[in-house]
Structure formats: C-alpha cells, structure tokens
Amino acid sequence: MVFHNPVTLAREFTTIDILSEGRVICGFGIGWSKDEYLAANIPYEKRGERADEILQVMKKIWTDDIVEFDGDFYKIPKSIIDPKPIQKPHPKILLGGFSPKTFERMIRYGCGYIGGLAGSFEYFHNSIKMFNDAIEKGSRDRRDFDLTILTYPYLMKSNSSEESDRAPMTGRTIDEIGSDLSMLKSSGVDRVILAVNTDKDYDVNETIEFVKELRKFCQ
C-alpha cells in the first residue's frame, strides 16, 4: 500500500469497482522488507503513520465531493476527483498483518482483516484472537468487520510420500480438508480465498472438481 500514491491507487480501485459493478475488495499491507522500500524510494521509517494517511486520503477521494487533505506525507489542495465508486460509502478495505498496531489500525479506520492460513492452526487461532480482542477493546461490533482468510488447499495423492503430519487445508481426502473449511466458518471467517501453491503438482481439471466439492462445507 505505502509504495503507491494514494490518489492514483484510489482511482485505480474506483475503476475496477465500476468495471466489476461494485464487487472490488481492497486488500492492503504495509510490507516488512526494507529492500522493497529502498527499491520503491519510500522511507522505511514511519511506515505506519504513512499507511494511516493513505487510508484517510483514499476514503476522502471515494466519499467527498471536494477533496482536501493536509498531512505530513500527502497534501491535496481542494480538488474534484471523480468518478466515485459504485459501492457506498466506499469499497471494502481489508488489512493484512500480525502486529498489534495493525489490528489497532483496522479498528480505527473500520477495515476488515485478511489473514493467511499457511502455518499452524495455533498461529491462525492466535491471529483471530488478536483480531477479536482489538474489536472488543475498541468497543466495536464484530459484525462490522470482515474477516477473510487466504489459504492453499491441496489434495494429496493416495500414494504420496509426503509427511503424515497434516498441514491446514491439506489432506488425502475431501472430508479432511472440508473439516478445516468448516472450522474456519465456525471461527467467524466471512470469506475464504483459495490460492494455488506453485510448489505443488496440480491438475487443473481435478482442482476445479475439488473446489466444487469443497463448497458443500461452506453451506
């Protein structure tokens, strides 16, 4: 997020929102790699404060007829910035991250959480607890905050030599993986994004059928 100009970024998402007839979801993170900041010519210091201003600027662009902003990092004189998104008051914003400051930022700006289920279930449950604790601390309603999880489902071959210790969303049967999906639903997850792990050997047609089978665990 912080590698982009907020005016340009807001207008890009507006364009996608219009083209998708109001279905765009904005997923942001501030990053962790100093090398990426160096390559983007953005100071690594005060990246959290910069992210705060970007969120403020984008919301103003999406909602205000006359946009004006005077911050430490970004300044916009009185301007008309059109068009506006279809979604009102603005597209859904999800923030990724694992630090307490990230969860505080979600609550402060009314953003949802996008997390990953690539590690252990213990790590996942800890992240969800931090998310829920931040909402409670901010005296907000959990129903106002979207929880999205990105995960990498993989159906192992019956003769696979892979380790028997099952990673989340990985198993030798649909039911094994489906039980993980049911657990995500019971944990309050609103949306699951199924991604592809490029290290695995996928068959496209089999994967399509596999995903169709998984849908029954979301009902």
Q: Give the pLDDT confidence of 70-88 residue by residue, as tens digits.
A: 999 999 999 999 999 999 9
Residues of the chain with pLDDT under 70: 158-165, 200, 202, 204
What is the model's pLDDT at position 164? 55
Count CB neighbours of 10 within 10 A.
24
Task: Specify the DSSP element, H or E, that contains 147.
Answer: strand 147-151
Q: What does DSSP assign to residue 118?
A: S
What is the model's pLDDT at position 122? 86
- Sorted by where each starts, the structural domains of the chain and their CATH numbers stand as 1-90 (no CATH), 96-219 (3.20.20.30)
What is the model's pLDDT at position 162? 53
What is the model's pLDDT at position 58? 98
User: CA distances (Å), 98 to each of 52, 95, 103, 105, 214, in order?
Assistant: 16, 10, 8, 11, 28
Q: What share of the chain is helix, strand, coil (3-state, %, to 5)?
A: 45, 15, 40
What is the model's pLDDT at position 159? 55
Whole-model pTM: value is: 0.85
What is the model's pLDDT at position 98? 84
